[in-house]
Structure 1
Amino acid sequence: MNGIGLELILRNHAEIAVYCKPIYCIDFEVLECAAKKLALQIPKDMYIHPLNMQDIFDDEIIKAGQICAKSGLYSFKSFEKAVELSIEHEASLVTLPIHKYAWQLAGIEYAGHTQYLRHRFQKEAIMMLGCKEMFVALFTDHIPLSKVSGMIQKEKLLQFFRDFYHAYSLLFAPLQTTQTPKNDTKHGTQDSKEIQLESLQELSSNTLKQNAINANLVKRLLYDEKNIEKTIIEKTQDSIQEIAPHNHSLQPKKELKIAVLGLNPHAGDNGVLGHEDMIINECIEIINKEIGAEVFIGSIAPDSAFIPHNREKYSIFIAMYHDSGLAPLKALYFDRSINVSLNLPILRTSPDHGTCFDKAYQSNNNISMESYLESFRFLCQVNM
């Protein structure tokens, strides 16, 4: 609230309201304070779900560009309420940037939205960031670099590959009768058809249920069906392939190619520069056998993974740690990239930028709105 989040809401509501009906978890008094500071009007058609927390502020509600415990607590409670509404109504969720230190000052034990979602749903939420040209998923995200090496364990990484393959396929392709990964300790011993049938049975109570939920995420709450014009619907449907990476948008799973980055320089040079990449390579071999197709490619040396030649071949990348994957992504597509939380019962997106305290509540701040708008477009398009 002390950053640019409320400005994003106020300046972009009119455009978003054309094709969806957002519900904002905020008290009117807080939004009114932001609007006055920005010299903006609160749109009359905004639907606000109050938190009834305005009384926690004993002086000025908004302290532009400042980190404080009260703003951290307020943003967390807003997020917490939004999650509960998403569960109740099977709706998608868009979150605004938060300052992690403000959460810490407020006594919030989570390092961010994703960490809370993992705890709330007891599932390993996967962070995937990017735009239609390129998405990057993170095996580890908000942990110190010194702990990354210890996280690269065979079963943990292999399960991550399985979860990502399932979750990504649910977003961008219909569930088809192609080979589906199966967690089998006797790797490679079963016929691909047997793997397919057993996997579908094994996943029926989880994957299919999640698919059904995701298919209705927007329709029940986000979409205002009475006010959507036919032309808007057709335009949105036509643009599904624009948001999804071009080389496998709505294509059979067997055409999906995912480039996996190594951890060490030169992807370890066959163990000379570190053993972790040997584990990564083994997991890639196993998951491809489970799928019955060469979907996961690598490991690829991180320093050359994002060269133009590779980006022509791959539009999905998996990085072992935060900066390995996100530094190239943000150098290329910072203004348009979004953050997507996969492998959860709800689908959540957010802008791929921070609170921008240095630009908050300032005139002529030249804030880009694209990432925020893309967060909504993505949800509407993948759920049409």
Structure 2
Amino acid sequence: MASREHRPLALTLGDPAGIGPEIALAAWRARAAHGLAPFALLGDVDHLDRVAGAAGIDVPVRSVASIEAVPAVFDEALPVLQLEAGVCAEPGRPDPANAPAILESIERAVALARSGRAGGVVTCPIAKSVLYEAGFAHPGHTEFLAALAAEPGEPPPLSVMMLWSEGLAVVPVTVHIALAEVPGALTRERILAVARVVARDLRERFGIAAPRLALAGLNPHSGEGGAMGREEIDTIAPAIAALRADGIDASGPHPADTLFHARARTTYDVALAMYHDQALVPIKTLAFDEAVNVTLGLPFVRTSPDHGTAFDIAGRGIARPDSLVAAIRLAGRLAGAAAPGRGP
């Protein structure tokens, strides 16, 4: 087997009607400029040729028989591991008929990573609504990956979404739920479980010996001592105390409105926010084109661009590959167990 740092990455197709295929082509074209690790796209050669022609992206595409063949081809063409399911997509026209190809691409990428043949998985964006129409039974992309990561007869591992950039990393403790549901979902146990996964993966994957976790409060000004809510007193602060007892460098609860300015960001490696927008607004403001979605808690490296399928611009050759390039670059660094810069 190839050494850990030389295993190619497995790049999934995403929704073939979205921008995933064209930004994958553009990422290969930018491989040398960004020092990208070799990767293979699990897709369809004919479809990629059509996408390249429609988007005006001059990139050679070549089918390879195995992921082990990728390094020998990567400098000359984008290596493709051919899917068995057909791809009949038109840019900007999502179709549930492509669900088998989308799912096969993810399943095979995970199998390659779990077997050790691939250094990690980089996923192009999918549209959950398209998969739901085809009978997809999982809440989302990450939950599907966690299910694929589970051992037979065991529950899926707790997967944690971290949005990473060179200057800021954030983790939402609660994710895709209505804002009105957040206080009920924000339990001490939930905070502890998420924070422990974050601390462990920052040590083991990012090479940070003693990760610094800054936890935000839920309410304005962290509740003003209970005047604007007691979640900080009754839930968040006790969780922080338990983390400290575990030997984890956890601080807070910090008022969210002062947690993300430049000086504050030098005091922690990752900020744990209590709900989705509290985490994603600052990082998308600071690093909209460079942020990477990293799934912590899985038994393999998984990164993804921090954007969706962008059906409205698919096939026009104007989609920027920056976030996918950053996702491939980070996955390569994590697969090689190299610390990626200033903390996460």
If the TM-score is normalised by the length of the shorter chain, which range does it land in? Answer: 0.7 to 0.9
Query: Hey, what does 2:45 align to over in structure 1?
Result: 28
> After the TM superposition, which residues 173-322 of structure 1 pair with which residues of structure 2 at under 5 Å, given as runs?
173=207, 250=208, 252-253=209-210, 256-278=211-233, 279-291=235-247, 295-322=249-276
More strand by share: 2
**CA offset at residue 347 of structure 1?**
0.7
Report if the CA contact (8 A) 1:97-1:350 is conserved.
yes
Query: Hey, what does 1:102 align to over in structure 2?
Result: 130
Rg bigger for which structure? 1
Report if the CA contact (8 A) 2:24-2:321 is conserved.
no
Q: Does 1:87 align with 2:105?
A: no
Report if the CA contact (8 A) 1:67-1:101 is conserved.
no
Percent identical across equivalent pairs? 29
Report if the CA contact (8 A) 1:72-1:99 is conserved.
no
Report if the CA contact (8 A) 1:73-1:108 is conserved.
no
Report if the CA contact (8 A) 2:60-2:78 is conserved.
yes
Query: Hey, what does 1:46 align to over in structure 2?
Result: 78
More helix by share: 1
Query: Hey, what does 1:177 align to over in structure 2?
Result: none
Given residue 91 of structure 1, which amino acid in structure 2 is its aligned partner?
A: G
Report if the CA contact (8 A) 2:84-2:101 is conserved.
no
Q: Distance in 2 between matches of 1:368 and 1:65?
A: 16
> After the TM superposition, which residues 55-204 of structure 1 pair with which residues of structure 2 at under 5 Å, given as runs?
61-88=88-115, 89=117, 91-120=119-148, 121=150, 122-173=156-207
Q: How many residue pairs are counted as aligned between the two chains?
A: 296
**CA offset at residue 172 of structure 1?**
2.4
* Cα 1:19–1:311 shift into 2, 3 Å: closer
Q: Distance in 2 between matches of 1:290 and 1:26?
A: 44
**CA offset at residue 70 of structure 1?**
2.1
Report if the CA contact (8 A) 1:164-1:342 is conserved.
yes
SS in 1 for 2:266: helix
Q: Distance in 2 between matches of 1:271 and 1:72?
A: 49
Query: Hey, what does 1:16 align to over in structure 2?
Result: 31
Q: Distance in 2 between matches of 1:133 and 1:167?
A: 18
Given residue 305 of structure 1, which amino acid in structure 2 is its aligned partner?
A: L
SS in 2 for 1:172: coil
Q: Distance in 1 between matches of 2:139 and 2:51?
A: 26
Given residue 110 of structure 1, which amino acid in structure 2 is its aligned partner?
A: H
Equivalent in 292, 295, 299 of residue 338 of structure 1: 292
Question: What runs of 5+ residues in structure 2 fail to find an aligned partner?
Answer: 1-15, 63-76, 151-155, 339-344
Q: What TM-score do the two structures reach when normalised by structure 2?
A: 0.80
Q: What TM-score do the two structures reach when normalised by structure 1?
A: 0.72
Q: Distance in 2 between matches of 1:19 and 1:153?
A: 40
Q: Distance in 2 between matches of 1:119 and 1:274?
A: 36
Query: Hey, what does 2:281 align to over in structure 1?
Result: 327
